[in-house]
């Protein structure tokens, strides 16, 4: 998910409106036969990490906020072992670009303030202390953020300009070198968040070509490092063209979008979306959704796992305005897919922020439990713990 408050989340609208048609058009990593609709669950080469995204560390102005040690302790005490850390590469640039400022220059992109990286060091330290794997993810990579346009202050675009590819390599090399001595069981690198949907300018081959230099650079420094690439189409579509890079992939689950994003603040224009129900919610393309259609939609990821490519669900979650019983019923089916597919998951998010998480979410139909001064959605937590 993209954290920019002014984002319209067009990718999620596409997910809501096109997902029904996508079931028959998804790229599949191996040929389909009659038995492929419900293939047996192969062994996933990635651990089944379970945990949360820490959205709050991503700051739209300063770039990053300090992670809180007690959050790692709570996550571990509740039985989880994974956090995904959303980051913007602008956090460790000396020059900060705010709305209305002139865009960055190429020179700005290489002018680093190393003191900012100490906040990321603290997350890695807390993860090690509490037995939590930390996944570092560029939610804003050089030249790309979900929904990015020419007006976001970037000096280049990743899918168009070689200078952006060079910058992506440079910034991932920073982390590869910084954590060269940290074991693969402790941290992983998620190259960039939610690549776009396929278009005239973007496809699986383009995606592979643009990230391949960063993969090579990381491996040249830390050959054992786990490298993960989000699926295309905002994390919905597995990308067989990435298989040659020998990296793993992350699936995101917000389908159908008019349930997961019901009345969220950044999509207020979707006033025509009816109050969700589950099963039976109808997306923008007129397709009715339930557990069977969901399972079919994510079947290609099973085939990816069968090829030996690890898969993890880096994001899932939903609006605090979706009726709580409906949301929990939907989330149960999402977690059943994870169980059936043999993959782990990370809830978007943990506390406050988009209000998709389990703490301080301001749902109106939940009896919250006090948790060290925060409001805890115990029903949601209990559901997550079951899986």
CATH classification at residue 114: 3.20.20.80
Instruction: Tell me the pLDDT band of 152, cut-offs 50, 70 and 90.
Output: confident
Does residue 33 belong to any structural domain of this protein?
A: no
Same domain, 189 and 277: no
**Is residue 260 located within the same domain as residue 160?**
no
Domain boundary among 225, 253, 281: 253
Which range among 1-10, 44-53, 221-230, 319-328 shows the weakest confidence by mean pLDDT? 1-10
Question: What is the full DSSP assignment across 143-154?
Answer: TEETT--TTSS-
pLDDT in tens, 275-286: 999 999 998 888
Domain end residue (candidates: 253, 269, 288): 253
Q: Are residues 226 and 279 in the same domain?
A: no
| pLDDT confidence band for 97 (50 / 70 / 90) | confident
The pLDDT of residue 5 is above 50:
no
Asked whether residue 121 is assigned to any structural domain, the reply reads yes
Under the banding of pLDDT at 50, 70 and 90, the label for residue 39 is low
Residue 225 domain-assigned (yes or no): yes
Q: What is the pLDDT of residue 32?
A: 43
* Residues 244 and 269 reside in one and the same domain: no
Asked if 261 and 282 sit in the same domain, the reply is: yes
Q: What is the mean pLDDT of residues 139-157?
A: 86
Q: Chain-wide mean pLDDT for the chain?
A: 90
Is residue 242 domain-shared with residue 263, that is, in the same domain? Answer: no
What percentage of the chain reaches a pLDDT higher than 70?
89
> Does residue 18 sit within a domain?
no
φ, ψ of residue 263 in degrees (nearest 5): 60, 30
Whether residue 242 is found in the same domain as residue 271: no
Is 357 domain-assigned? yes
Question: Using CA atoms in the order 192, 193, 199, 205, what is the torsion angle rounded to 10 degrees?
Answer: 40
| pLDDT value for 270 | 81
Domain identity same for 235 and 374: no
pLDDT at residue 25, rounded to an integer: 42
Mean pLDDT of 182-193: 97
Q: What is the mean pLDDT of residues 229-236?
A: 96
Considering the domain architecture, whether residues 115 and 230 belong to the same structural domain is answered as yes
Task: Label residue 19 by pLDDT band (50, 70, 90).
Answer: low
Q: pTM to 2 decimals?
A: 0.91
* Whether residues 169 and 77 fall in one domain: yes
Cβ(293)–Cβ(299) below 8 Å: no
**Model confidence at 2, in pLDDT bands (50, 70, 90)?**
low
pLDDT digits (tens, 9 = 90+) for 71-93: 999 999 999 999 999 999 999 99
pLDDT tier at 151 (50, 70, 90 boundaries)? low
Taking residues 377-383, what's their average pLDDT? Answer: 98
- For residue 111, give its domain range: 48-253
Looking at the structure, do residues 239 and 385 belong to the same domain, yes or no?
A: no
- Looking at residue 310, what DSSP letter applies? -
Rounded Cα distance between 261 and 356, Å, is 10
Which of 253, 277, 306 delimits the end of a domain? 253
Asked if residue 362 has a cis previous peptide bond (ω within 30° of 0), the answer is no
Q: How far is CA 43 from CA 108, 181, 279, 300, 338, in A?
A: 44, 28, 29, 15, 13
Whether the per-residue pLDDT at 30 is higher than 50: the answer is no
On whether the CB atoms of residues 254 and 315 are closer than 8 A, the answer is yes
- The answer to whether residue 312 is domain-embedded is no
Residue 26 has a pLDDT of: 43
DSSP one-letter string for 317-329 = ---TTS-HHHHHH
How far is the CA of 10 from the CAs of 7, 83, 228, 362, in angstroms?
Answer: 8, 26, 24, 25
Q: Per the structure, how many domains does the chain have?
A: 2
Domain membership of residue 17 (yes or no) is: no
User: Can you tell me which residue has the tokens 């786990």?
Assistant: 226
Whether residue 185 sits in one domain with residue 205: yes
Residue 200's pLDDT is 92
Other CB atoms within a 10 A radius of the CB of residue 264 amount to 20
Q: Is there a domain that residue 19 lies in?
A: no
């Amino acid at each position: 998910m993209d954290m920019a408050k002014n984002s319209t989340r067009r990718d999620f609208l596409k997910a809501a409106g096109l997902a029904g048609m996508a079931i028959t058009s998804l790229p599949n990593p191996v040929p389909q036969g009659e038995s492929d609709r419900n293939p047996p669950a192969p062994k996933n080469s990635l651990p089944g990490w379970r945990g949360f995204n820490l959205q709050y560390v991503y700051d739209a102005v300063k770039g990053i906020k300090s992670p809180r040690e007690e959050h790692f302790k709570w996550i571990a005490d509740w039985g989880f072992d994974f956090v995904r850390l959303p980051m913007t590469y602008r956090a460790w640039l000396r020059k900060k670009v705010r709305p209305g400022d002139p865009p960055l220059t190429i020179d700005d992109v290489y002018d680093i303030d190393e003191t900012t990286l100490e906040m990321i060091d603290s997350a890695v330290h807390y993860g090690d202390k509490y037995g939590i794997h930390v996944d570092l993810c560029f939610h804003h990579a050089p030249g790309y953020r979900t929904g990015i346009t020419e007006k976001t202050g970037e000096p280049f675009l990743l899918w168009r300009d070689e200078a952006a590819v060079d910058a992506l390599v440079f910034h991932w090399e920073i982390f590869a070198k910084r954590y060269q001595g940290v074991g693969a069981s402790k941290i992983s690198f998620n190259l960039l968040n939610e690549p776009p949907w396929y278009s005239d300018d973007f496809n699986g081959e383009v995606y592979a070509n643009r990230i391949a230099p960063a993969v090579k650079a990381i491996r040249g420094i830390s050959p054992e490092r786990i490298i993960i690439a989000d699926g295309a189409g905002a994390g919905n579509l597995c990308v067989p063209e990435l298989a040659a890079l020998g990296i793993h992939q992350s699936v995101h689950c917000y389908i159908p979008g008019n349930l997961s994003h019901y009345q969220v603040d950044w999509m207020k224009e979707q006033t025509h979306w009816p109050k969700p129900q589950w099963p039976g919610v109808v997306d923008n393309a007129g397709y009715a959704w339930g557990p069977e259609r969901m399972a079919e939609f994510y079947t290609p990821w099973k085939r990816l796992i069968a090829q030996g490519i690890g898969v993890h669900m880096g994001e899932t979650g939903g609006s605090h305005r979706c009726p709580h019983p409906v949301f929990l019923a939907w989330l149960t089916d999402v977690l059943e897919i994870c169980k059936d597919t043999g993959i782990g998951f990370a809830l978007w998010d943990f506390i406050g922020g988009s209000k998709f998480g389990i703490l301080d979410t301001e749902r109106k139909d939940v009896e919250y439990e006090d948790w060290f001064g925060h409001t805890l959605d115990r029903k949601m937590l209990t559901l997550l713990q079951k899986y």
